[in-house]
Chains A and B, each alone.
Chain A
Amino acid sequence: AAGVIQSPRHLIKEKRETATLKCYPIPRHDTVYWYQQGPGQDPQFLISFYEKMQSDKGSIPDRFSAQQFSDYHSELNMSSLELGDSALYFCASSYPYRGDTEAFFGQGTRLTVV
């Protein structure tokens, strides 16, 4: 079965650079979530989208922005990168007609800021 696809899987950037992470949800899933998991930490909710509109916002820095496109894929844009942004970034998707009770995560993008 198709899963949530994230690209790239690994990304190395220098401080103050920008990065764009992409997420392709499971077909027919119209809700997308972004999470950040620092080393040895639990995942922290960043932001979510439903039907291309932002639905919930968590602890997302102002340097980050995200959007969901007409084909339901989502991109997380990160600017002025800092060393502390090094983390595993997860995208997840769910299907509201199942009550959003199952959020399926992608394999994550591991961002390293040097």
Chain B
Amino acid sequence: AQKITQTQPGMFVQEKEAVTLDCTYDTSDQSYGLFWYKQPSSGEMIFLIYQGSYDEQNATEGRYSLNFQKARKSANLVISASQLGDSAMYFCAMSASGSARQLTFGSGTQLTVLP
């Protein structure tokens, strides 16, 4: 069984600053994938970034980077230079075998960017 833990129900960050959203996971699978999604108040689920368990380099996508520490089973999302439009719920998710076929989501972190 897989489990995702997001311990920060809510986070605040000042505009233009960087913020780290925590995510830890538990799995007995050797191969797995880690995902981050953004859900604005409008409800849609927006894919942000992916990290495979065998990827040695941390994934980056524009202002998003994933701080992958395999030994600690953590996959924190770092957002650099926060923007007001980054205010949303952020979900960490994982799947077995690295594919997105059956994602297990964490409980989410509500990020609010302050002007």
Contact = CB atoms under 8 A, between A and B. Distances in A.
A105 B44 contact: yes
How would you classify the secondary structure of chain B's contact residues: helix, strand, loop or mixed? loop
Contacts of B106: 42
A88 B102 CA distance: 17
A108 B45 contact: yes
B103 A100 contact: no
A104 interface: yes
A100 B31 CA distance: 14
Interface in A91-114: 92, 94, 96, 99-108, 110
Contacts, number: 67
Interface string A19-58: 0000000000001010100000011110010100001101
Contact of B47 (A96, A99, A104, A110): A104
B43 interface: yes
Given A101-B50, A105-B37, A45 B43 contact: no
Interface in B89-106: 91, 98-106
Which size class do B's interface residues fall under?
20 to 34
A72 interface: no
Given A42-B107, A42-B108, A43-B91, A102 B47 contact: yes
Contacts of B91: 42-43
Nearest to B51: A101
B99 A99 contact: yes
Contact of B100 (A42, A90, A101, A108): A101
Given A42-B91, A42-B108, A56 B43 contact: no
A101 B98 contact: yes
10 contacts: A33-B100, A42-B105, A43-B105, A56-B102, A58-B102, A94-B101, A99-B99, A102-B50, A103-B47, A105-B46
Interface of B: 33, 35, 37, 42-47, 50, 52, 91, 98-108
